[in-house]
Every structure is written in C-alpha cells, then in structure tokens.
Amino acid sequence: MKKVLSVWILSGLLSGFSPANMSAKALSGQEIFSRSCSVCHSMAPPPKAAPPIIPLAGRYHLKFQTKKEGVNHIIAYLKSPNKDNAIDPQAITRFGLMPALTLPDAELRSVAEWVWDQYNPNMGMGRSAGRNQ
Ligand code: HEC
C-alpha cells in the first residue's frame, strides 16, 4: 500500500514539475503536510484548528468521482479559500476560513494528491483508526 502511494506521488511530482520549481530534493506530499499543514490539521479526530485530514479525504471522495477532479479542487482551495468553493462550509463557521497558502504549484499538487489518498473506506467518521500516521 505504502509503495503504491509513493508511486502515485512520484508520478504526480514528475508530471507537475517545471525546472523553476525544482529544489535539490523534492518533498513528498506527506513531508509537505508535516511542514505546512500539520500545525492546523490533525490526521484523525480530535481536531487541532481545522478539520482532520482522513474525514476530509472521505468528504472529497463522496463529492468527486475522480482523483483528478478532487485534486484540482483541493489545489484551487489552497490557493484561494472561500465560502463558495468550500466542500464543507460548516467547517468555516466552526474553525474560521483557512488562510491561502503560497506554495509552489508542484508542492500544492503533491500535497493535494496526498490528501486525496488518505481516504480510508474502512474508517467511519470520527473513529480512531489512522492515528498511527
Ligand atoms: C493556519 C491553519 C491552516 C493551515 C496551515 C492549513 N489549513 Fe487547511 N484548513 C484550515 C481551516 C480552518 C479549514 C476549515 C475552514 C475552511 O474550509 O476554510 C481548512 C480546510 C481545508 C480543506 C477543506 C477545503 C474545502 O474544500 O472545503 C483542505 C482540503 C485543507 N484545509 C487542506 C490543507 C492543506 C493540504 C494544507 C497544507 C498545505 C493546509 N490545509 C494548511 C486551516 C489551515
């Protein structure tokens, strides 16, 4: 499973890359999450200052049929969060609006793909599975 995920992430990185964005070593989606998102987002409940990632990925899988659509929506949201394109407007009421993130496009793409891949069909909303991340 881990292997399959990293192949996904790698192919996403390769296709989304332009030399200008290339740093000495590309970070994986998970590394970008740890650096840029985990201050607000936990993986599973309880939440920190934002909805936890695993239930969030579940919402995305309910709303979008394909990974491409879901990932494009996540990228658009990270660049410009607003009430009109939020998949869960109640989260804004609860946590406030997420600040826009200024990451290179390649990083936005790999972290968005990583978020999409955190969907766990065996996990009910709010259960403790997935905390071992
Ligand atoms: C400063 C805190 C903060 C940081 C940092 C942050 N987020 Fe968020 N995020 C929020 C809050 C608050 C919400 C819920 C309100 C909203 O949707 O705007 C949210 C919502 C989201 C959503 C749901 C969007 C939707 O369609 O409704 C996604 C996906 C997301 N964050 C991903 C990320 C990723 C990926 C990163 C890192 C690259 C990140 N966030 C960094 C606070 C943060």
Q: What is the pTM assigned to this prediction?
A: 0.80
Q: How far apart are CA 102 and CA 81, in angstroms?
A: 12
At residue 131 the predicted structure's pLDDT band, cuts being 50, 70 and 90, is very low
The mean pLDDT of 22-51, rounded to a whole number, is 92
Query: Which homologous superfamily does the CATH classification assign to the domain defined by 2-16+27-117?
Result: Cytochrome c-like domain (1.10.760.10)
Distance 14 CA to ligand 1 centre (A): 25
- In the chain, % helix, strand, coil (3-state, to 5) comes to 55, 0, 45
pLDDT in tens, 43-60: 999 999 999 999 999 999
pLDDT in tens, 61-98: 999 999 999 999 999 999 999 999 999 999 999 999 99
Cβ within 8 Å of residue 126, ≥6 positions away:
45, 55
Residues lining ligand 1, Cβ inside 6 A: 36-37, 39-41, 49-51, 56, 74, 77-78, 81, 86-88, 91-92, 95-99, 101, 111, 115
